[in-house]
Amino acid sequence: MENYKIKLYGFNNLTKTLSFNIYDICYAETEREQKDYIAYIDEQYNSERLTKILIRVAEMIGAQVLNISKQDYEPQGASVNVLIAEERISPENIDKSCNQGKPFFEEIGIDKENMKKGNTSQDTDTVHAHLDKSHITVHTFPEYHPDNSISTFRVDIDIATCGEISPLNTLNYLIDSFDSDIITIDYRIRGFTRDISGKKFFTDHNITSIQDYIEPEKLKIYDAIDVNVYQSNIFHTKMLIKEIELKNYLFNQDVYEIAPKKRLEITDRLRKEMIEIYSGMNIY
Dump pLDDT digits (tens) for 2-54. 455 667 656 677 889 999 999 999 999 888 888 888 888 888 888 888 999 99
Catalytically annotated residue among 134, 166, 177, 180: 134
CB 268 within 8 A of CB 276: no
Whether 209 is catalytic is: no
Catalytic residue at 139? yes
Q: Are 128 and 116 in contact (CB under 8 A)?
A: no
Please state the pTM of the whole predicted model: 0.79
Tell me what pLDDT residue 73 has.
75
d(CA 263, CA 170): 36
Count CA atoms within 13 Å of residue 215 on its CB side.
10
Distance CA 163, CA 156 (A): 23
In the three-class reduction of DSSP (H, G, I as helix; E, B as strand; rest coil), residue 190 is classed as strand
- What CA–CA distance (Å, rounded) separates 66 from 55? 11
Cα angle for residues 40, 43, 48 (degrees, 5° grid) = 160
Please indicate whether residue 162 is annotated as part of the active site.
yes
Segments of the chain scoring below 50 in pLDDT: 1-2, 89-90, 93-95, 97-98, 100, 102-105, 107-108, 110, 112, 114-131
Residue of 128, 130, 135, 139 with catalytic role:
139
